[in-house]
Amino acid sequence: MKTIIDPARRVASTAAGAAPRPVLWRVPEAMSLLNVSRSVIYEQIRSGRLRTVKVGRTRLVPDAAIDDYVRLLEREAE
């Protein structure tokens, strides 16, 4: 089943219907959302440009941090 993410509506649409967008993303999911490599994600985390949280041993990227990072890139592109 393929998931299509619509950032404007903040929902992930699946074949079974629409579900709310997750609040926290695992690093591979953040890589896919941002269309960047694993090394770029971790470089951005180390530099403080992409915020994360840890739950146990798992590093997660808050949904708001994805939005903030995209806004940062847009500001830098101006």
At residue 2 the predicted structure's pLDDT band, cuts being 50, 70 and 90, is very low
Instruction: Say if residues 52 and 59 touch (Cβ distance below 8 Å).
Output: yes
The full set of domain ranges for the chain reads 22-77
pLDDT of residue 57: 95
The C-alpha angle 57, 27, 24, rounded to 5 degrees, equals 80
Give the global pTM. 0.73
Sheet containing 11-14: give its strands across.
Answer: 4-6, 11-14, 17-20
**Mean pLDDT confidence for 55-72:** 96
Q: What are phi and psi of 15, to 5 degrees?
A: -60, -30
Reduced to 3 states (helix: H, G, I; strand: E, B; else coil), residue 48 is coil
Average predicted confidence (pLDDT) for the chain: 85
pLDDT of residue 8: 44
pLDDT above 90 coverage of the chain, percent: 72
Distances (CA, A) of 10 to 17, 38, 41, 60: 14, 23, 21, 18
Q: Which option is the CATH number for 22-77: 1.10.10, 1.10.8, 1.20.1070, 1.10.3470?
A: 1.10.10
